[in-house]
Structure 1
């Protein structure tokens, strides 16, 4: 039986990981400045949030999922049966799957922008790692039937779309905040 779940548990994990990431930002600030330290800590926090909202059962501990009810493969129905609404936010589940990866993409670019030469390698590698994170989440959802989540390839497409949109937003933020100046609000 999966012993935890529900919105309260998700919010608690998000709060705890936020506090840990705040400490990370404080530790990195003297060496990197607030913009870069905040971007790195924010990126880590965004990954923790994604993990919490996708790998914790949404409606409390589901108990036992019978073997007959367990999916054996991911859904390959692109754009498939995503329900309207979601347990916290209104709108479609597909929109939430897209939006949840936007901060990770934006913060990735902002974290790397302090070192402009690293952007040419770091951004594509970071995007590939975000895509791999999404695939890993879907594989975990498939393998752990007890978390009462479904593996869907559409989620990966939506997550990567959100990450790409985030990369564009991060580029704009980097141009505004210019962390490569070395004087980024120490």
Structure 2
């Protein structure tokens, strides 16, 4: 039997993760600046949220899943039937699968752009890692029948599409926020209150 699950557990995990990531952002502000600190913490929080809502049973601990009810392979019916939304959100499952990856793509670009030209390598690598994360989630859902989740290639396509949209949003935000700018610390004379 899978011991935990349900909306309450997911929301508790989201809240705890949010508090931990807020503390991380506070710890990073002096080193990276506020925009990058929030983006790094936001990226980690969004990745944690994705894991919580995709790898915990949606309707509470499902108990035992009979062997005959377990899927042997992922569904390759691309764009096939999908349920209408899940737990808190309404709307189509495919839309939700895309939307949940948008913040991760957005925060990835804003966080990476803090380091200027290194973002040209970091963003594509990070995007590939988000795609690999989606594949890993679907594989886990297939391998662990006790999660009472279904592995579907369409979910991967939707997740990667959401991450790509997030990257686009992140590029726009990075150009507006310019996290690569650092506030310069005051000089020793200015800090001491000297005037000329």
Common topology (TM > 0.5):
yes
The separation in 2 between residues aligned to 1:35 and 1:117, in whole angstroms, is 17
User: In the TM superposition, what is the alpha-carbon distance from 1:85 to its structure 2 partner?
Assistant: 2.7
Look up the match of 1:54.
Answer: 54
Q: Structure 2 stretches of 5 or more lacking a match?
A: 185-196
- What is the correspondence of 1:24-173 to structure 2 with a 5 Å cutoff? 24-173=24-173
The separation in 1 between residues aligned to 2:62 and 2:161, in whole angstroms, is 30
The separation in 1 between residues aligned to 2:115 and 2:9, in whole angstroms, is 37
The separation in 2 between residues aligned to 1:181 and 1:28, in whole angstroms, is 15
Q: Deviations over 1:2-34 (max 9, x none)?
A: 111100000001111111111111111111111
Secondary structure (helix, strand or coil) at the match of 2:170 reads helix
TM-score by length of 2: 0.92
Structure with max Cα Rg: 2
RMSD over aligned Cα atoms:
1.0
Q: Structure 1 stretches of 5 or more lacking a match?
A: none
User: In the TM superposition, what is the alpha-carbon distance from 1:86 to its structure 2 partner?
Assistant: 2.0
The separation in 1 between residues aligned to 2:146 and 2:88, in whole angstroms, is 21
**Is the CA contact (8 Å cut-off) linking 2:141 and 2:147 kept in structure 1?**
yes
Aligned residues: 184
User: In the TM superposition, what is the alpha-carbon distance from 1:102 to its structure 2 partner?
Assistant: 0.3
User: In the TM superposition, what is the alpha-carbon distance from 1:180 to its structure 2 partner?
Assistant: 1.1
The separation in 2 between residues aligned to 1:7 and 1:84, in whole angstroms, is 17
